[in-house]
Amino acid sequence: MGQPPDPLRLISAWALTLLPAALGLAVLLWATGPAADPAPSPGPGLVDLGRRLFFDPNLSRNRTQSCATCHDPGAGFADPRGKGALAAVSLGDDGRSLGDRNAPTAGYAALTPGFHRTEEGKYVGGQFLDGREPDLAGQAGGPPLNPLEMGMPDKAAVVARLREDPGYVQAFEGLFGPGVWGDAEGAYRAMTQAIAAFEGTGFFAPFDSKYDRALRGEYRMTEQEELGQTLFFSTQFTNCHLCHQLHKVPGSPGETFSNYEHHNIGVPANTAVRALNGQPPGHLDLGLAGNPAVQAAADAQAQRGRFKTPTLRNVAVTGPYMHNGVFKDLRTLVLFYNQYNSKAPARRIDPETGAPWAPPEVPENLSLKELETGPALDDRRIDALVAFLKTLTDRRYEHLLTGPNAGKAG
C-alpha cells in the first residue's frame, strides 16, 4: 500500500490553510459544560502550540507516547499500531496496558456538538465514545492522566514536564499571561485549549474526499458509488441516514455522517481483547450509562450499552470497527446491520468467524426502531454501500484504499 505520508510534512501543508479559524472557534464555542477561563482566540500562535503538544511524547510517563500515537495523522487519526486482536485497542505508554475500547478517529472531532440532551430526551454529542467530556479540550485532558494510556500521575506532573521546555514556557506565557504557571489546574487547562485549537484546524477536517469533490463537480462517481450514495441517503431502502446523516438535506456541504446520538446497536463483546486486557469474566461496557452526567439520571438504566454514533469520514481506512474493534472488515460492518432486516440463513453468519453473529454484549435497550428500518439488502447493494463509504476518505488517505487489505485492520 506504500508508506503513509510524513505527518509533519502534512501539517506544514494543511494545518493552517483550511478552515482553521472557523473550526478552531467551534471548538471553543460548542462546549456546554461550566464556563472555562478566558482563552486566547484560536489564532496561529495557539494552533502552533497545540500542534507541538499533540506530537510531544514527553507528556507521557515514560516519554514514549503522544496524542498522535493513538491518533496518527498518517492513518486517518486512528491507531495503526496493533495487529490481530491488538488492532482493536491501544497499547499504553508502559508497553503493557490495554484498554477496552477502540481509539476513535480524531478527524472531524471538532465538529461534534457538546454533550446535551434534546427536548425529546435523547442524549447527543460529547467527546469519547460515551460522551463523557462536553468538549474537545476536555477530551484532550483525558489521555495524559489515564493509567492505561499516557500514564501521568496527575496534572502537576504534566505541567512540570511542560516547564522543562523553554519553548513551552515562552509560548504559554505569551498566550495565557505570565501567571499561567500559578496553579497546575490552570496551566493544564491552557494545554488542553491549545490542543483543541490545533484539532479544530482544517488539517483534521479538510472535506476533500471524492464525495466532497463530487458535490463540487470535481469528481464523477462510478455507477457503483452512485448507487451506494442513493441507497445511503434513501428513506426507503436503507436505515443508514437515520443515524449517519447530520443535515436534513442529503448532499449538504459539511456533512459529517453522524447525528451524534447514542445508540445500542447490539455489538457483541470482543472476547479476543478481553482475553488479553485482564477484564474479569462477565464485565460489561455500559457505554453511555457510565457517563458521569448520566449515572444519576432517572433513566440511567435505559442508557446501558449505548455509544455515540461515530462519523463515517475516513471509515474505510480507520478500522477495526465498532466501539470495541470487534469487526475487522468494512463489508462485515454493513452485513452486521443487514442481519436485522434479513431472514436468509447466510445473513445470520458472521463472515469473519464463520459462526452465527455473537449476541449483544448488552442485550437490552437495542435501537430496534432504527435497526429494523428498511428491507434486506442483496450483495449488489451491500457492495455499493461499501463503495460509497470509501468515497468518504480524505484525499491524502486514498492511497490506503488500494491493495488486498483495503477496508481491513489487523
| CATH number of the domain encompassing residue 323 | 1.10.760.10
Give 32's pLDDT tier (boundaries 50, 70, 90). Answer: very low
Residue 111 has pLDDT above 90, yes or no: yes
Whether residue 234 sits in one domain with residue 192? no
Whether residue 259 sits in one domain with residue 172? no
Can you tell me which residue has the cell 505520508?
5
State how far the Cα of 60 lies from the Cα of 395, in Å rounded to an integer.
31
Q: Is the dihedral of CA 360, 363, 366, 371 positive or negative?
A: positive
Whether residue 164 sits in one domain with residue 91? yes
145: cell is 492522566
Model pLDDT, residue 42: 61
84: alpha, beta or left? (left if phi > 0; alpha if psi -120 to 50): left
State how far the Cα of 11 lies from the Cα of 22, in Å rounded to an integer.
18
Can you tell me which residue has the cell 464525495?
211
Give 402's pLDDT tier (boundaries 50, 70, 90). Answer: confident
Rounded to the nearest integer, the mean pLDDT of the chain is 90
Reported as a single tens digit per residue, the pLDDT across 145-169 is: 999 999 999 999 999 999 999 999 9
C-alpha pair distances (Å), 398 with each of 74, 90, 148, 317, 406: 11, 24, 32, 9, 10
Whether residue 185 sits in one domain with residue 69? yes
Whether residue 214 sits in one domain with residue 195? no
Whether residue 338 sits in one domain with residue 221? yes
Residue 404 has pLDDT above 90, yes or no: no
Whether residue 39 sits in one domain with residue 101? yes
Whether residue 252 sits in one domain with residue 391? yes
92 domain-assigned: yes
258: alpha, beta or left? (left if phi > 0; alpha if psi -120 to 50): beta
Strands 123-124 vs 262-263: parallel, antiparallel or unpaired = unpaired
2 domain-assigned: no
Q: At what angle do helices 155-163 and 184-199 cross, to 10 degrees?
A: 70
Last residue of a domain, one of 199, 228, 251: 199
Give 65's pLDDT tier (boundaries 50, 70, 90). Answer: very high
Model pLDDT, residue 44: 72
Counting residues of the chain whose pLDDT is more than 90, the rounded percentage is 86
131 domain-assigned: no
The mean pLDDT value for 169-190 works out to 97
The mean pLDDT value for 341-354 works out to 97
Last residue of a domain, one of 172, 199, 226: 199
369: cell is 426502531
204 domain-assigned: no
Whether residue 186 sits in one domain with residue 270? no
57 domain-assigned: yes
Q: Name the amino acid, one letter, at 269.
A: A
Last residue of a domain, one of 199, 219, 248: 199
Whose CA is closest to 150, among 136, 163, 140, 160? 140
Model pLDDT, residue 364: 96
State how far the Cα of 304 lies from the Cα of 53, in Å rounded to an integer.
35
Give 31's pLDDT tier (boundaries 50, 70, 90). Answer: very low
The structural domain count of the chain equals: 2
pTM of the model: 0.88
Residue 11 has pLDDT above 80, yes or no: no
Model pLDDT, residue 43: 66
CB of 46 closer than 8 Å to CB of 107? no
147 domain-assigned: yes
Residue 88 has pLDDT above 90, yes or no: yes
User: Structural domain of residue 94, as residue ranges?
Assistant: 7-112+136-199
407 domain-assigned: no
Whether residue 142 sits in one domain with residue 16? yes
Whether residue 299 sits in one domain with residue 343? yes
State how far the Cα of 272 lies from the Cα of 6, in Å rounded to an integer.
32
Reported as a single tens digit per residue, the pLDDT across 205-249 is: 999 999 999 999 999 999 999 999 999 999 999 999 999 999 999
Per-residue exposure over 248-266, b if at least 16 CB sit within 10 Å of its own CB, e if not: eeeeeeebbbbbbbbbbbb
129 domain-assigned: no
Counting residues of the chain whose pLDDT is more than 70, the rounded percentage is 88
Residue 366 has pLDDT above 70, yes or no: yes
Whether residue 300 sits in one domain with residue 188? no
Instruction: Decide which of 2 and 197 is more confident.
Output: 197
